[in-house]
Amino acid sequence: MWPRAATNTAAHPARMAALSVRPLRRGESASLRAFFSALSPAARRWRFHGAVNELPSAWIERLAHPDPHSEAAVLAEATEGDEARPVGEARYVADGAAPGTRELAVVVADGWQGRGVGTALLHALEQAARRQGVQRLFGDVQRDNLAMLALAGRAGFETSGHPTDPTLVRIAKQLADATAPASGRGR
């Protein structure tokens, strides 16, 4: 599912670290736990739409094991010397109500925001979606998460009010060039 081209590496000028985006490997629970724990309270609230101090083990395990038939997850890693650590994560999951539609989420470590990490993650996620034949990506963004709303706009997502929650903005993008039918499997 992931050709080599889905992994992009570039030097990060501000930190002199190599940044790469790659598929999440099933079972990377420890690195996900460390990544989410290191996020600021605001970043965790924006990602999980509520106050979350520590993710329950069941959540971590679920996040670490995406269904390869209907989900995708990518990590952005910064490598300095021999040490690589996650600095961003993005994923999509099946929307059981609409075959061919996936709900996405993106989060970037606070110190790496505004440096192209979110753009790289979203691009990798869109590539995976097209390969899986996904026809539409959408996400719900907290209204005060201006950086994510700006990123979505630059990436060609349209915005609209959330159908039931006035604190959220719905972002959506049609993937016109999806090449294969998306699995109808959902959660």
Q: Is residue 123 part of a domain?
A: yes
DSSP category for residue 170: E
Q: How does the average pLDDT of the chain come out, rounded?
A: 84
Number of domains into which the chain is organized: 1
This prediction's pTM: 0.81
Q: Is residue 185 part of a domain?
A: no
CA–CA distance, 1 with 93 (Å, rounded to integer): 16
Which CATH number does the domain housing residue 66 bear? 3.40.630.30
Q: Is residue 35 part of a domain?
A: yes
Q: Is residue 143 part of a domain?
A: yes
Residues 6+ apart with CB under 8 A from 25: none
The pLDDT value given to residue 158? 96
State yes or no: pLDDT of 41 exceeds 90: no
Which range of residues forms the domain containing residue 97? 7-174
Q: Is residue 187 part of a domain?
A: no
